């Protein structure tokens, strides 16, 4: 009788530990749209890059931009990539459209935010993949920024003017539309 209880308790313990570890693993797994598209095993992935003009930043960081077409069998997707050192943002076409819409909203709000003269204010739009675009106000001054990914260091770009962002995003959207034809 005691042996059966010991086996039962051991079995239940091992089962609960393995179940918990599987749940924890699923919760910790974060995939971006690009990761989801390129991680399909058993297929050939083809990548074609088209360079775009460099993105001008406030502190003259070297920031390259490009359109990346990824083919996975018959399926394909386009991503606007912003590359700074070891940080790369990969923005899918529909997210780029949402970013352009959000940029207009942010541009409409900036004057009232400046006028309110806050000690500090941050107004940001974040995509589902963790790319952030926004501005902050402090000491009567504003600064636009792009945060390329959720984690890591040296992944924030400071931009002097929203027109620089809008121009780069619009050019990327137009190039994607041209490449899709």
Please report the DSSP string for 39-60 in residue order: --TTS-EEEEEEEEPPPP-TT-
- Length reported for the chain: 181
pLDDT value of position 95? 94
114, 152, 52, 75 alpha-carbon torsion, rounded to 10°:
-120
* Per-residue pLDDT tens over the stretch 125-180: 999 888 999 999 988 889 999 999 876 677 899 998 999 999 999 999 999 999 98
Q: For residue 20, is pLDDT > 50?
A: no
pLDDT value of position 25? 36
pLDDT value of position 35? 65
Nearest 5 degrees, angle CA 67-CA 73-CA 78?
15
Across the range 5-10, mean pLDDT stands at 51
* Per-residue pLDDT tens over the stretch 57-75: 998 777 999 999 998 878 8
pLDDT value of position 18? 41
* Per-residue pLDDT tens over the stretch 29-63: 547 666 666 666 667 889 999 999 999 999 877 79
CA distance 84 to 157: 8
């Amino acid at each position: 009788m005691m042996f059966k209880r010991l086996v039962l308790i051991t079995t239940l313990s091992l089962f609960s530990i393995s179940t918990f570890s599987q749940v924890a693993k699923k919760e910790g797994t974060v995939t971006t749209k690009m990761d989801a598209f390129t991680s399909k095993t058993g297929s050939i992935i083809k990548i074609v890059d088209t360079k775009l003009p460099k993105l001008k930043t406030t502190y003259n960081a070297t920031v390259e931009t490009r359109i990346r077409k990824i083919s996975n069998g018959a399926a394909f997707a386009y991503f606007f990539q912003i590359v700074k050192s070891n940080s790369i943002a990969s923005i899918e076409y529909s997210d780029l459209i949402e970013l352009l819409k959000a940029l207009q909203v942010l541009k409409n709000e900036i004057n009232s935010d400046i006028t309110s003269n806050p000690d500090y204010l941050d107004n940001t739009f974040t995509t589902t993949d963790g790319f952030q675009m926004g501005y902050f106000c402090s000491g009567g001054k504003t600064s636009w920024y792009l945060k390329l990914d959720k984690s890591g260091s040296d992944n924030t770009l400071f931009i002097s003017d929203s027109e620089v962002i809008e121009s780069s995003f619009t050019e990327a959207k137009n190039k994607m539309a041209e490449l899709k034809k």
